[in-house]
Chain A
Amino acid sequence: MSERVVELEVLRYNPETDREPHFQRYSVTCREEWVVLDALNHVKEHQDPTLSYRWSCHMAVCGSCGMMINGEPKLACKSFLRDYEGVIRVEPLAQFPIERDLVTVIDDFVAKLKRVKPYLIPKHDQPVSEGEFLQTPAELKRFKQYTLCINCMLCYAACPEYGLTQKFIGPAAISLAHRYNRDSRDGGRDQRQEEIAATEGVWECSFVGACSEVCPEHVDPASALQQVKIASTVDWFKEHLMPWSKK
């Protein structure tokens, strides 16, 4: 099995001793099939146990190991070392405060996710004895793409609007709201609209499209946001030009 020495340049920040972050270089003997996360794990086990970063599944499902790799938001577990040449620069996800080393403060995203109510709000209560809420394959396909979001926040790191206006609810949270809005079993759209049809909701988006370019699960958040804009505009016209019509 072939091995090569990989140079990692990792942004370090210790809130107890550092005034600001600085880069630290590590030389790691890596196997050909390793990903960046394997190299970080090797550093932590054999060179520097103080290095902090988040990870869990190592298979692009948990969304924990998002970080900037050579300036691009990536999952460290999905970034193969063989795809990089020279020094690999690893930094915490852009546009989030740094907690320590590669660990970011994600409270803002978690709070926004909660605000958009990303769960089924049934149209009416139905006792279990009446059976399941049935759904056709076509109804499932209507929103399935948006269920693939793993909350990795790479889209927030890529979105310049989020960088400039931190109040922006952002790509992943709005995409998840859209996912439930398009679900035939759901009746919670009006509740979600208060958050996502607002200025700091979808109207902060100017369709840069960076979110969709970096999404590791091909959720295409930009498409969700444009669809929410159109639906919200239709709502506005219905409300102001046809007040007698129901939404």
Chain B
Amino acid sequence: MVEKVSGRRPYFREVPRTHWFLRHPRYLRYMAREITCIFIGAYTFIWVVGIVRLSQGEAAYQAFLQTLKTPSSIVFHIVALVFAIYHSVTWFNLTPKALPVQLGEEFLPDGVIAGAHYAAWAVLSVVILFLAGAF
């Protein structure tokens, strides 16, 4: 009996490892959401530098505060704020997927879950502004 030779020879298509996200707008939207975290990280780093300067005495801290007032620093903070808002909004809008709440038979509408996060965001922001002496 002659064994039949398999004609199978599957063709493998390579996924581009470095620029796969250019293949579709939905991947670009994802990358935009992820890349915004770099600005949030940079902003946090500036905070840490501020704390270090504070520990070095008043003169060092005053110099740090002066640096914050430079035009390039103000531009960075505006850009970081825009990206932080984009990051927060895109994530808050995804929360209904991760945290569904079932009451009885029905699930709470997505808007309620996301809305609760926006409300918590607003309340916490007010508390922080209050603690910072803004009112």
Stretch at the interface among A42-50, A82-90, A121-129, A137-145: A137-145
Tell whether, in the assembled complex, residue B27 and residue A226 are in contact, meaning their CB atoms are under 8 Å apart. Answer: no
Residues of B within 8 A of A164 (CB): 15, 17, 20
Expressed in whole angstroms, the Cα–Cα distance for A213 and B21 within the complex equals 16
User: Which B positions have Cβ atoms within 8 angstroms of A?
Assistant: 7-13, 15, 17, 20-21, 23-24, 26-27, 30, 34, 94, 96-100, 102, 104-107
Q: A46-84: which have CB < 8 Å to B? A: 71
Tell whether, in the assembled complex, residue B97 and residue A98 are in contact, meaning their CB atoms are under 8 Å apart. Answer: no
Chain A, interface residues (CB within 8 Å), range? 20 to 34
Contact for B97 among A15, A16, A141, A220, CB less than 8 A: A220
Q: Shortest Cβ distance from B113 into chain A, in angstroms?
A: 11
**CB within 8 Å for A226 and B97 given contacts A160-B20, A210-B27:** yes
User: Which A positions have Cβ atoms within 8 angstroms of B?
Assistant: 13, 15-16, 20-21, 71, 94-95, 97-99, 105, 137-138, 141-142, 160, 163-164, 206-210, 212-213, 220, 222-223, 226-227, 229-230
Residue of A whose beta carbon sits closest to that of B10 = A97
Q: What 3 A-B pairs come out closest when comparing CB atoms?
A: A226-B98, A223-B97, A97-B10
Residue of B whose beta carbon sits closest to that of A104 = B10
Q: Shortest Cβ distance from A141 into chain B, in angstroms?
A: 6
Expressed in whole angstroms, the Cα–Cα distance for A119 and B21 within the complex equals 35
Residue of A whose beta carbon sits closest to that of B96 = A223
Residues of A within 8 A of B9 (CB): 15-16
Other A-B pairs beyond A97-B13, A164-B20, A227-B98, 10, CB < 8 Å: A16-B9, A21-B11, A71-B24, A98-B11, A99-B8, A138-B104, A208-B26, A223-B96, A227-B100, A230-B99
